[in-house]
Amino acid sequence: MKKVILGLSGGVDSSVALKLLKDEGYDVEAMFMRNWDSAANNDILGNPTLTNDVCPQELDYQDALKVAESLHTPLHRIDFIEEYWNTVFKYFLTEYQKGRTPNPDIMCNKYIKFKAFLKEAERLGADYIAMGHYAQVKHEKNKSYLLRGADDNKDQTYFLCMLTQAQLRKVIFPIGHLQKVDVRRIAEEANLVTAAKKDSTGICFIGERNFKQFLKNYLPAKPGNMVTIDGKVIGKHDGLMYYTIGQRKGLGIGGSNEYKSEAWFVCGKDLEKNELIVGQGHDSIYLESNWCYATDYNWICDAPKEDYEYTAKFRYRQKDIPVTIKYIDDNKIKVIYNGLCRAVTPGQAVVIYDKEVCLGGAIIDSVYYNDERRKY
């Protein structure tokens, strides 16, 4: 029997993944990753008095333990706190300091779930690792392909775009062929304690919390002016790092006889002036672009060809956009859209697809409308 080490998070998806692996006859062990420790991380900063920093990780571990026991599976508990801090959280903070909007889940998959975890699993004698992601993998003799999950609404290949071929060769996604409703049903029929557990949201492994307060613990806030497209001061912002392109909620702009009744959106950032640029209308032209530069590209299987039409996602759950790419150098690509796309945001990933195959992705660096660079 092939030995598989499953990442058991204490959620319903990984719980059902464990049950399915057991049903298929694999020799399965589970591993719970502990990647965040408030006290240890505060010590790194030399500030043991950070506030509002409570993580529900221990409750997740207790749920994972109950699932493992009910399915008669050994459960290992492993700390990747230092690895998470150095490869994911430092990146997260650096991107926010640049005024960008990072995606820590992508880096967590790259460096923690499919690198540090894989290394530890191989130490335990694993032939494969498994995760409860909504994605599929096709293993051929000399190459493996990452395919979209069967549930379009839950597909998580966007977050897996930075995996390497070597990592993917060792991966099984037991629930990738299922719809979420079927995962819940299987969990209920198996009487798993996680069957009705709410899906986790928030920052990868840090969890749900007051985002502004949490970020303030690690980066100093720098309030400034909120200005219209033509430069008129209309309010104050709490710090550019708290806002993302296309954001509507939380701007605090009241009604005014001087402007239309349309909603306000974040349309840009001026880091030099520390100004947040806002405009009215969901479909404002200032939120549209037709090409971007992206860096640090990673191809999982086959590298995309120049001038061939693929599709791309610029954010999770976004509808696919037809695109072509051009290679600028060995680190940078130009992504050209077939039409306009709204709120393409530096720091996020552009993920390239060839029909159902996820080819990989890159980090959005700068955004353009024709020859004009957007102030994103």
User: 231: left (phi > 0), else alpha (psi -120 to 50), else beta?
Assistant: left
What number does CATH give the domain 221-280? Answer: 2.30.30.280
DSSP at 178: S
Of the chain, the percentage scoring pLDDT greater than 90 comes to 83
- What was the pLDDT predicted at 215? 85
For residue 48, what pLDDT is reported?
44
Whether 301 is catalytic: no
Known catalytic membership, residue 341: no
Burial class (CB in 10 A: 0-12, 13-18, 19+), 162: buried
pLDDT at 207: 56
Which part of the chain is CATH 3.40.50.620?
A: 3-213
Q: Span 350-365, mean pLDDT?
A: 98
Does the pLDDT of residue 305 top 70, yes or no? yes
- pLDDT score for 259: 83
The 10s digit of each residue's pLDDT in 217-271 is 899 889 999 999 999 999 999 999 999 999 999 998 866 677 888 899 999 999 9
pLDDT at 63 over 90: yes
Q: Are strands 135-139 and 128-130 parallel, antiparallel or unpaired?
A: unpaired
- The predicted structure's pLDDT at residue 366: 98
Averaged pLDDT score across all residues of the chain: 92
CATH 2.40.30.10 segments of the chain = 285-373
pLDDT of residue 208: 56
Region 46-64: mean pLDDT is 66
By the 10 Å C-beta count (0-12 exposed, 13-18 middle, 19+ buried), 209 is classed as middle
- CATH numeric code, 3-213: 3.40.50.620
Grade residue 203 by pLDDT with cuts at 50, 70 and 90: low
Q: What is the architecture, at CATH level 2, of domain 285-373?
A: Beta Barrel (2.40)
Residue intervals of the chain classified under CATH 2.30.30.280 are 221-280
Q: What is the dihedral of CA 221, 222, 225, 231, to 10 degrees?
A: -110
Residue of 161, 204, 267, 358 marked catalytic: 204
Active-site pick, 55, 108, 341, 358? 108
